[in-house]
Amino acid sequence: NAGVTQTPKFRILKIGQSMTLQCAQDMNHNYMYWYRQDPGMGLKLIYYSVGAGITDKGEVPNGYNVSRSTTEDFPLRLELAAPSQTSVYFCASSYSRQETQYFGPGTRLLVL
């Protein structure tokens, strides 16, 4: 099992550009999550999904969008990049809401 994979590892964006952060898991997990991690701030939930076709907002969803067309994939879309979106983004998955969340290796994003 590869677990949770994320691409790209690192990206530099200009203000106003858009991009999609990819996340995939091969553990047949129903629940998937997107977090951002800023220095000294812990992890904040952006969006989550409880299954294919079902997504909802977390704590900090502004400026982001998600979709979940398959169990395996949960891409995060940034439409108009802003410097405030400079962060490290982690995708996670779990079998159910009570089970352990497994994290991917992260995508470092710099918006200039």
Partner 1 sequence: QKEVEQDPGPLSVPEGAIVSLNCTYSNSAFQYFMWYRQYSRKGPELLMYTYSSGNKEDGRFTAQVDKSSKYISLFIRDSQPSDSATYLCAMRDAGGTSYGKLTFGQGTILTVHP
**Footprint of partner 1 on this chain (CB under 8 A)?**
4, 31, 33, 40-45, 48, 50, 56, 58, 90, 92, 94, 96-106, 108
Q: Which is nearer to partner 1, 17 or 86 (CB)?
A: 86
Q: Which is nearer to partner 1, 48 or 64 (CB)?
A: 48
60 to 10, 13, 26, 44, 70: CA distances (angstroms): 21, 20, 26, 7, 24
Q: Which is nearer to partner 1, 59 or 79 (CB)?
A: 59
Closest approach, Cβ 90 to partner 1, in A, equals: 5
Residues 6 or more apart from 73 whose CB is under 8 A from it? 22, 23, 24
Closest approach, Cβ 98 to partner 1, in A, equals: 6
Closest approach, Cβ 82 to partner 1, in A, equals: 23
Q: Decide if 102 contacts 2 (C-beta within 8 A).
A: no
How many Å apart are CA 107 and CA 14, to the nearest integer? 16
